[in-house]
Amino acid sequence: MLDFAFYNPTRIFLGRGKIALLGQKIPADARVLVLYGGGSAERNGVLDEVRAALGERRVGEFGGIEPNPVYETLLQAVERVREHGADFLLAVGGGSIIDGCKFVAVAARYAGDPWEILSGRGQTIRSALPFATVLTLPATGSEMNSGAVVTRRSMQAKLSFKSEWVFPQFSILDPEKTFSLPPRQVANGIVDTFVHVLEQYLTYPVGATVQDRLAEALLLTLVEAGPRALAEPADYDVRANLMWCASLALNGLLACGVPRDWATHMLGHELTALHGIDHARTLAVVLPAMLRVRREEKRAKLLQYGARIWGCTEGDEDRRIEEAIARTEAFFTALGLPTRLGAYRIGAEHIDALIGQLTAHEMVALGEHGTVTPEMSRQVFLSAL
Ligand code: NZQ
Ligand code: ZN
């Protein structure tokens, strides 16, 4: 029985030339701090467009936020907010910059130890600076959601938080700004989006027909548009659809009234924290192994997924399920993402440390049924070797 509340206050402006809207949408008297990453936004001209659109406003800038944004760097950004007297933040970049901006928006107004923002998973947040985003990499959905993931290097901890205070006020999605992405980041974004959908779809049936069909629409779009985005990097329509797909995959819409898994993501975060593997690449490794280990728990949805996305309708159930998982792996591999830990020189001897991290972070009863114990996570890593 469907039963849910859906709330998403973020406005989206998608299209060519939409960065110019910043001039209208940000208050004319705002003191803006622009946050960006390692320089891609400077090189491809996005920052110049942003500066022009902000016009006469008092604008400061803070660059150098890393992929998998680092807590220590973000605290420096908070200092910069205070120096500049900023009352509005603008994130220009991918998920890492947007997530970093969310943390800075909260930390700038936080009275206690900012570590509590992460250790308390967002529960202690009572306020945040307003902010908007200019998205340059479709992947995380951060431009339209209220979550963020931050890494504290000194603790090798990659932790997420969620709060209604960190929905962006609005996000600008100009598909042309993704043309400069290296193929690796395009492929990462497609796989991240695909797995976001599966974390909310590939669980067990609850009669949520609309939710299922929405999820399947996004998956089919990714299967079709993914390879094209790599083959034709300047195709506007392909990039526009991927951008919208990524936002819809994780803006709360698919989650309405359905069970959610997220175990693949939690195991993946530990791979990033200990081994520095790109977020999406961790998912490409963990997901197929997770599905194989938990095939009984997910049997009905695996059959539905196989039939509707990959046309797996021949043979007995077990064969169809294996085919659905193998097709998923082949999709990731064709995009250039390996599906085995061996590709990253991770062997059985590294698994204890990963399990230790999961336990330390209280990730001991994951998945839609809470069945993913440390022992089951071990099986998943072992079957991904
Ligand atoms: O730093 P710059 O120079 O800007 O380069 C970036 C970075 O090296 C580059 N890039 C971005 N846009 C570009 C571009 N290069 C050329 N042209 C452009 N238009 O791409 C590289 C990766 O950027 P990053 O922001 O790290 O990637 P992504 O968007 O995949 O974000 C990954 C982070 O988001 C978190 C991940 O854990 C990871 O930390 N996630 C956030 C979520 C959320 N907030 O809801 C959910 C996700 O599951 C995920 O966990
Ligand atoms: Zn993700």
Q: Which ligand neighbours the alpha carbon of 94 most closely? A: 1
Q: By percentage, how much of the chain surpasses pLDDT 70?
A: 100
pLDDT tens digits, one per residue of 172-198: 999 999 999 999 999 999 999 999 999
Tokens 């791979």, residue? Answer: 271
Separation between Cα atoms, residue 267 and residue 269, nearest integer Å = 6
What does R_g of the chain's alpha carbons equal in angstroms?
20
Separation between Cα atoms, residue 256 and residue 171, nearest integer Å = 22
pLDDT tens digits, one per residue of 202-213: 999 999 999 999
Cα–Cα distances (Å) from 287 to 62, 203, 384, in that order, read 35, 13, 9
For residue 132, what pLDDT is reported?
A: 98
pLDDT tens digits, one per residue of 29-71: 999 999 999 999 999 999 999 999 999 999 999 999 999 999 9
Q: Position 35: which residue type?
A: L
Q: Which ligand neighbours the alpha carbon of 250 most closely? A: 1
The answer to the question of residue 250 being in a domain is yes
For residue 12, what pLDDT is reported?
A: 98
User: If you measure from the C-alpha of residue 195 to the centroid of ligand 2, how many angstroms do you get, rounded to a whole number?
Assistant: 7
Q: What domain range includes position 21?
A: 11-178
Q: What is the CATH number of the domain that holds 216?
A: 1.20.1090.10
Are residues 135 and 242 part of one domain? no
The answer to the question of residue 15 being in a domain is yes
Average pLDDT value over all residues in the chain: 98
What is the C-alpha end-to-end distance of the chain, expressed in Å?
A: 40
Tell me how many domains the chain contains.
2
For ligand 1, atom 40: residue with the closest CA: 140
Are residues 133 and 29 part of one domain? yes
- Does the pLDDT at position 287 exceed 90? yes
- Ligand 1 pocket (Cβ < 6 Å) reads 37-41, 44, 67-68, 93-97, 99, 136-137, 139-142, 145, 147-149, 177-178, 180-181, 185, 188, 192, 250, 265, 279
For residue 5, give the DSSP letter. Answer: -
pLDDT tens digits, one per residue of 326-366: 999 999 999 999 999 999 999 999 999 999 999 999 999 99
For residue 183, what pLDDT is reported?
A: 98
Both tokens assigned to 216: 């399947």
Q: How confident is the model at residue 234 (pLDDT cuts 50, 70, 90)?
A: very high
Nearest to 131 by CA among 7, 10, 6: 10
User: If you measure from the C-alpha of residue 250 to the centroid of ligand 2, how many angstroms do you get, rounded to a whole number?
Assistant: 9
Are residues 206 and 60 part of one domain? no
Separation between Cα atoms, residue 175 and residue 186, nearest integer Å = 12
Nearest to 54 by CA among 30, 71, 82: 30
Q: Which atom of ligand 1 is nearest to the CA of 195?
A: 48
Which residues, at least 6 apart from 151, have a Cβ–Cβ distance to it below 8 Å? 68, 69, 70, 71, 157, 158, 159, 272, 273
- Does the pLDDT at position 325 exceed 90? yes
Separation between Cα atoms, residue 382 and residue 341, nearest integer Å = 9
Residue after which a domain boundary falls, among 144, 178, 212? 178
Which residues, at least 6 apart from 281, have a Cβ–Cβ distance to it below 8 Å? 188, 191, 337, 338, 344
In 10 A of CB 58, how many CB atoms? 14
pLDDT tens digits, one per residue of 92-129: 999 999 999 999 999 999 999 999 999 999 999 999 99
Q: What is the CATH number of the domain that holds 152?
A: 3.40.50.1970
User: If you measure from the C-alpha of residue 39 to the centroid of ligand 2, how many angstroms do you get, rounded to a whole number?
Assistant: 23
pTM above 0.85, yes or no: yes
For residue 1, what pLDDT is reported?
A: 85
